[in-house]
Amino acid sequence: MQHYTRLRDLREDADLTQEQLVQKLGMHKTTYTNYEQGKREPPFDFIIKIAKFYNVSIDYIAGFTNEPRKIK
């Protein structure tokens, strides 16, 4: 699925390691790594949280659009 790639790309574009990101989000690294690698489906509340964190649309994370459309 496309959003796994987007999760990694957004994190790398923000110049964050997985460890730095999970500290900011207050979650376990293993959980996040599983989302990013596509081993687990991220829950919707996580998708909302990460969209707010990166200031992008949920559609962008889900791969429905290639335009991040920043949230205003």
Q: How far is the C-alpha of 32 from the C-alpha of 70, rounded, in Å?
A: 23
Helix or strand run (H / E) with residue 9:
helix 2-13
For the whole model, what pTM was predicted?
0.87
Domain ranges of the chain: 2-62
CATH number of the domain at 2-62, please? Answer: 1.10.260.40
CA-only gyration radius of the chain, Å: 11
Which residues fall within 8 angstroms of residue 37, CB to CB, at 6 or more apart? 4
9-48 residue pLDDT tens = 999 999 999 999 999 999 999 999 999 999 999 999 999 9
Helix or strand run (H / E) with residue 29:
helix 29-36
